[in-house]
Chains A and B, each alone.
Chain A
Amino acid sequence: MPWLLLILPLVAALVTALITRKNGTLSAFISLGSVGATLAISLLMVLRKDDASPAFTWIAAGDFTLEIGLTLDALSRGMMVIVTVIGTLVHVFSLGYMEKDESKGRYFACLSLFMFSMTGIVLANNFAMMFIFWELVGVSSYLLIGHWFTKNDPVEAAKKAFLTNRIGDFGFMIGILMLWGMTGSIVFSEMEGGAAEAAAGHGKMFGIAVLCLFCGAVGKSAQMPLHVWLPDAMEGPTPVSALIHAATMVAAGVYMLARVSFLLSLTDAAQVIAWVGAITALFAAVVATQQNDIKKILAYSTLSQLGYMVMAAGLGDTNVAMFHLYTHAAFKALLFLGAGAIIYACHHEQDIWQMGGLAKKMPVTFLTFAIGTAALVAVPFTSGFFSKEMILLTAYEGNKTLFVIAAIVAFLTPFYMMRLFTVVFFGEGRSHHAKDAKEVESVMKLPLLVLAALSVIAGYGFVAGLVFGDLVPHEQVPSIVLVTSLGTLAAGALLGFILYKGKTQEVTPIGFIREKFFLDELYIVLVRLFQDAVGLLAKMLDTHVVDNIASKGTASTVAGLGSLFRRIQVGNLQAYAFLFGVGVILVVYLLVFA
């Protein structure tokens, strides 16, 4: 049965891509059917606590065998539920959001491809398989970001996402190969056995290998310094942003760290991971306060929350990271879908300063968005509150400096969310799009309501325990953490509300932050410098070495030999018989007399 999780979306992707692509509605329902079925299977597996892990040999060559196998444990089962729940809701939402899109068939084919690849990452029992699917999600993400490929920005964004990810994946691959060499296996369960010995035996190199592995997570989960692709990826359709660039794919990096948590506890390199996470969280939260595009704000917020998760993982508590991943998936998907509904209602207007007064016009969206915001900023009794408590607690116990950073982020989060919320929903409509916005149809409302409910209840033990079993962290939270959490929340939210209430434009414009510390520009300059240098070197090599010696030499040798061989073929039967006879003599000589 677990294989169905992989097969169904693959079949759906193939069928929709090859056969029903022209018929968008049919494709949509095939895709929806497959994701619905996988949801049912994942829920069933969670309820039954399936842990049979089927495997079969893929390639065997000498000593090297490669298995395709699935891991079913509390971690993968829970992650599967997250992926399929959000996936199903996003599919439903897309029915409405993409209804008038011309290439709906292609869109749903790509969604199914994504579901297939993501399932592969979650269920993989070895690094080779995970890496293949890791690349496949990269591909499907590329296709979906560039869905509207007739426009320039989505194409650029898709390319940027793909290339940035490739940088991370290169490190990931090196990490896999190094660890394969050190532990002698690429199967997770077998690596676990050899890890301690490998860590002791290789010392620093082991830490470097783990950091290389982490490079993959840096790329996929958009951590500093490879975070630049995620905000740009918002050029894709909004449901895609919700599914891939908020809830699931970007969390794959965190999931991978959780999968190999046994490696993290063995090396000091984990400290680096924690710091990368913390810095990303802080940086993204700061940038988010100055963005004007509703999706960009949410994208930076995602970055910031991913930073939280990576920090927790780096501090050694991957369960906390996974718990936050889980609640975050619900409320961030909700926020993105809500943003999608708003954008849809405002005729693809994304600038928050062009909105306003939407609370009355879109009551359901308003309400659900409010719940999502509450969960994100960790209002007590919402799911985000529980998981953020745990993150702060982990930081508090692990490293006091990181705790301070986390607290600052906890202050910035309610600040920028309150800014977004006030500007979008209150005041007067600031453009005609906003003025004649209407509530979206029910096929889009339904996922919002379900996600709103999940955003509230997901944090409670009875739900979380169902999904993740005993991986859910339960710890007594000391009062200083509680006070920090509530205090930063109150301060941030109040400040945001007071500053931005009734305003029609940015009150404290800080260009430096709005331009994301000019990191993109810096990268462009660096890349160009590097490219120019490499280009010059390559050109010199090319003209002097490759062209003159290697290429021309080889080409003429090959062509010369080739035409020589062709000349043998004179067309005369007698000559052939003669050559045949010569061949026989050669063979007899070589075999009998040589």
Chain B
Amino acid sequence: MMPAYYLEAAVVILGLVLMVMEAFVEKADKSLIAKMGIVGLLVVLVSLFFVSGPAEGDDAPIWSFYAVDPMALFYKGFALVTTILVLIMSLDYRSVLQHYMGADQEKPGAGIGEFHYLPLFTCAGLMWMASAKDIVSIFVALELVTISFYVLVAFMRRNVGSLEAGVKYLILGALSTGFFVYGLTWLFGLSGETELSKIAAALGNDDSAMVRYPKALLFSLAMILVGLGFKIAAVPFQIWVPDVYQGAPTPITAFLSVGSKAAGFVVGYRIMEPFFANHVAPQLVTLILAISGATILLGNLAAVAQENFKRLLAYSSISHAGFLLLALGCSSSTTSPVNVEGVMALYLGGYLAMTLVAFHVMCLVRAQLGSEDLSAYKGLSKRSPFLAGVLLVAMISLAGVPFTAGFIGKMYVFLMALQSRYFVIIALAVVGVGAGFYYYLKVVRAMYWDDAADDQSVQISTLSKVAMLTMVALIVILGIYPTPILNLFAA
């Protein structure tokens, strides 16, 4: 057994080693960097099962801002799996990168190496976010993730779309960071603490400024919610999502939509949790529910008319954030043995699998057919039955067809919302799910019923096949037997 933070250290060191390697081993095939990264992260993923928290009586300072609980471990694994799959996708996406990096004949991989090791630093940040329980470490981990994303989104520096996406993400991201920090500042000012558990403890004290000035407390929470709302793509801070998703290199879009969202929810849950059992709970829940309803509705309805698959998934990602927020909104009132953490983890786990499969298919189609429009997916079942098959599973799962992870996640969210009697939001969510069926199945229709313009087939490497099949298996297994994840979080 080893302390859990060794994992983050290992990932950072791995990233540094690969960075140095990339710089000095000039002739090497740059795909080697990604492959080494994948292997290294797999080792870290395995060692995740052998880590421990603080021993009895161990009060080293790190344990005051670094949590080791089921939630932290689950989301560390979540970040690792996501990063591994993003690296695999980045291998499939190399031809597009080469094109937009202006590589010459002698050094075809020039400038691409960074694309393969930067995600490792993002991963370390995501893993740290899963454990962060002090506003300082939350802020630093969050920024590690965000800044490395700035680079990755704008990575294709001869592609106007990528640069535009990078700039939009940079400005709006920094703006949201400004609000987030300002909110943290006020939270610190009111409680006099930076450690979340001490803030929670201070809440019980009637002399605390947090109790005496509820408006100030709510103001700070509002600011924090703005920052996190940006990360998870909740209305009204979803505005960056479609453009950035469309412009960013596809593996990074996948990373953003899964990794960034999950980390946002972990941090959000950790910060908000004490306030759900408190005098500010009613306002907080009302706001979260309002945001949730608006997010579900906007995400799903705006997706209906999209013809670009990436933008479609961007809106879909917004709508899923709405469902997750609905789960979060049930925190204060649900009494069932199925707890909010479990349902969120289940939902995000399924979301990871289905979203990454969809983006992986998109990488391959973009690299080999040169388009991200839905029209490129016409007749995909003939070009590659495998790709069409896995994308079919991902789509029906995103839509929420029974016996998929997407269904079971939504089912639990609806159950909790029913228990909490949030009927208005449920009605909105039902409308959203209905619209969702329409646009997800639109993709399926293009793949299976429409004819392709030509008969060019799509090649898939064994590694990618294994990765996609694993995710499809995960979708089905979670859809049939979700209990392990729920048990992980059972009190």
Contacts and interface: CB of A to CB of B under 8 A. Distances in A.
B172 A59 contact: no
A56 B487 CA distance: 12
B337 A60 contact: yes
Interface string A227-263: 0000000000000000000000000000000000000
A592 B215 contact: yes
A433 B337 CA distance: 69
A573 B222 contact: no
Contacts of A579: 236, 239
B283 A580 contact: no
Contacts of B168: 573, 576
A571 B168 CA distance: 9
A66 B305 CA distance: 40
Interface string B463-485: 00000000000000000011100
A61 B226 contact: no
Contacts of B290: 590
B239 A568 contact: yes
Contacts of A569: 239, 242-243, 302
A559 interface: yes
Given A568-B239, A588-B219, A591-B283, A577 B171 contact: yes
Nearest to B236: A583
B167 interface: yes
Contact of B236 (A56, A573, A586, A592): A586
Contact of B237 (A59, A566, A573, A580): A580
A561 interface: yes
A62 B337 contact: yes
B160 interface: no
Interface residues of B, number: 50
Interface string B185-199: 000000000000000
B364 interface: no
Contact of B172 (A56, A558, A580): A580
Contacts of B215: 592
A219 to B, nearest CB: 22
A56, A587, A590 — which one has the most chain B CB atoms within 10 A of its CB? A587
Contact of B415 (A61, A562, A566, A590): A61
Interface string A115-154: 0000000000000000000000000000000000000000
B179 interface: yes
Given A61-B412, A587-B287, A565 B243 contact: no
B175 A562 contact: no
Contacts of B176: 580
A88 B223 CA distance: 68
Given A569-B242, A577-B172, A579-B239, A562 B218 contact: no
A562 B236 contact: no
A577 B291 CA distance: 19
Interface in A100-122: none
B393 to A, nearest CB: 14
A198 to B, nearest CB: 27
Contacts of B243: 569, 571
B418 to A, nearest CB: 9
Given A62-B338, A573-B168, A576-B168, A583 B226 contact: yes
Nearest to A575: B239
Given A62-B337, A563-B305, A565-B302, A591 B284 contact: yes
Contacts of A576: 168, 172, 239-240
B461 interface: no
Contacts of A580: 172, 175-176, 236-237, 239
B304 A562 contact: yes
B338 A558 contact: no
A58 interface: yes
A61 B338 CA distance: 6
A57 interface: yes
A63 B337 CA distance: 8
B287, B306, B486 — which one has the most chain A CB atoms within 10 A of its CB? B287
A586 B290 CA distance: 11
B219, B236, B415 — which one has the most chain A CB atoms within 10 A of its CB? B236
Interface string A361-380: 00000000000000000000
B17 to A, nearest CB: 37
A582 interface: yes
B222 A577 contact: no
A558, A563, A565 — which one has the most chain B CB atoms within 10 A of its CB? A565
B301 A561 contact: yes
A4 B95 CA distance: 47
B408 to A, nearest CB: 8
Nearest to B338: A61
Interface string A59-76: 111110000000000000
B181 to A, nearest CB: 14
B151 interface: no
Contacts of B415: 61-62
Contacts of B52: none
Contacts of B172: 573, 576-577, 580
B236 A582 contact: yes
A562 B301 contact: yes
Contacts of A583: 226, 229, 235-237, 239
A445 B412 CA distance: 55
B222 A587 contact: yes
Interface string B227-250: 001000001110110110000000
B79 interface: no
B419 interface: yes
Interface in B225-282: 225-226, 229, 235-237, 239-240, 242-243
Given A61-B336, A576-B239, A592-B219, 6 more contacts: A60-B338, A559-B304, A579-B239, A580-B175, A587-B229, A587-B236
27 contacts: A60-B486, A61-B412, A62-B337, A559-B305, A562-B302, A562-B435, A565-B301, A577-B171, A580-B172, A580-B236, A580-B237, A583-B226, A583-B235, A587-B222, A587-B225, A587-B236, A587-B287, A588-B219, A588-B223, A590-B283, A590-B286, A591-B222, A591-B284, A592-B215, A592-B222, A594-B283, A594-B286
Interface of A: 56-63, 558-559, 561-563, 565-566, 568-569, 571, 573, 576-577, 579-580, 582-584, 586-588, 590-592, 594
Q: Which 3 A-B pairs rank lowest in CB-CB distance, beginning with the nearest?
A: A583-B236, A565-B302, A62-B336
